[in-house]
Amino acid sequence: GNPYFIDLDFLAEEGYLAESDFKKIKWSSENTDVDYGLLYKERHNLFSVLQKNFTKNKPPLYEDFCTENSFWLDDYALFMAVKDAHDGRAFGTWEEGIRKREKGAVEEWTSKCAQRIEYYKMLQFFFFSQWKSLKEYANRNGIKIIGDLPIYVAADSSDVWTSPKQFELDENFVPLEVAGCPPDAFTADGQLWGNPVYDWDYMKNDGYLWWKKRIEVSLKTYDILRIDHFRGFDSFYAIPYGEKTARVGAWKPGPGIDLFESLKKDLGDLPIIAEDLGYTTDSVRKLLKDTGFPGMKVLQFSFGPEEGNENLPSDFISNSVVYTGTHDNDTLKGWLRDASEFEKDNAMKFLGLSDENKIPKAMMEYAISSKPDTCILTMQDLIG
């Protein structure tokens, strides 16, 4: 959990902080923008005060939390503590012993960084305690929360440090290949994401345990899970490490339906939404159908040229989720401002309008009444 989102007022109500500890802190160097560098510094200064108070009065639930989550929390807290001791440098630059998690080095650093390890466990405790309260409140009021799960993780992460065999890495934990997307009509160089790609053969041989833990924890955190870049489970684009663009790369086979059958066998039915936007193939479409997961339709993409457009309203099906726009899109008003005359004309004809200014509201109304079982509107569009 991201400590930026820990609610300080709740900590004050519980007696772990005084309001005077944080009310006078200047959280931004400007009034208009969030200064994340300053936020990071001030938050962690404040959390040092929090730890002193917390150490004097640990709640009984803290030990339960640490025990229940030890399978990820212990490694994460150690990773962050050692990273702090190395001034935030990537774990690939650490001394060989701790970089490779040799038993003696892990024991030494665990002892040396005990207080800092406790610090990071404390932050996770407060984050998830507050999140649990928020989610329970939402659920009591008939609201379900959809979480977003990226397909990949960062190279410099506790996931990679803890489980390097799950990824395509060399003996020094440098990625052999990284993730991205090939060049297309919109990006001449493609997209170079830089995340290490998975060693799917290794994952298959160990029964996809890493993925099972990841999905299980995510579904305890959220009610529904949207998995990003679903097509990467069918085939993924791998770029040799060190390339400056995504021009040089190749599509490689992913785990396909085998992964999801294994997940369902151990975890039961999975309330998952598959982000299947962008470049798809018949094989990707078949995988989506075989999983039974709903895919996504984005109404802002519905009024362009028909050829190759998989977001045409005529193609909407019930087992899908329709969005007016996602986090990658402009608002409906912004879309209308920048839309081509062709798109505006198509939208007005389809929605039965004569005034283009009515398009945003009509698009929301259509999305709500359309065939997909689920409709998601952005708050920005709802408030106009």
- Residue 228's nearest CA partner among 319, 300, 153 is 153
328 is catalytic: yes
- Residue 271, classed as helix, strand or coil, is coil
* Annotated active-site residue in 87, 328, 338, 355: 328
Q: How far apart are CA 294 and CA 272, in angstroms?
A: 7
Q: Which two tokens stand for residue 301?
A: 């993409």
| Under 8 Å between Cβ of 373 and 319 | yes
- Residues facing 295 on adjacent strands: 320
- Distance between CA atoms of 123 and 50, rounded to whole angstroms? 9
Beta strands 177-181 and 191-196: pairing type? antiparallel
148 is catalytic: no
- Name the pairing type of β-strands 374-376 and 320-323: parallel
353's tokens? 């309008």
Tokens of residue 119, six digits:
């610090």
Distance CA(72)–CA(70), nearest Å, equals: 5
Neighbours of 51 (CB within 10 A): 18
Q: Edge-to-edge, what's the strand order for the sheet holding 295-298? A: 295-298, 320-323, 374-376
Helix (H) or strand (E) holding 123: helix 114-140
Catalytic residue among 159, 177, 234, 275: 275
Catalytic: which of 228, 290, 345, 373?
Answer: 228
Burial 100-121 (b: 16+ CB within 10 A, else e): bbeeebbeebeeebeebbbbbb
DSSP states of 37-82: HHHHHHHHHHHHHHHHHHHHS--HHHHHHHHHTHHHHHHHHHHHHH
Q: Which two tokens stand for residue 114?
A: 């005990």
Q: Are 153 and 209 in contact (CB under 8 A)?
A: no
| Active-site annotation holds for 228 | yes
Neighbour-count burial of 6, counting CB atoms closer than 10 A to its CB (0-12 exposed, 13-18 middle, 19+ buried): buried
DSSP state of 356: G
Element of type H or E holding 84: helix 70-85
Active site members? 228, 275, 328
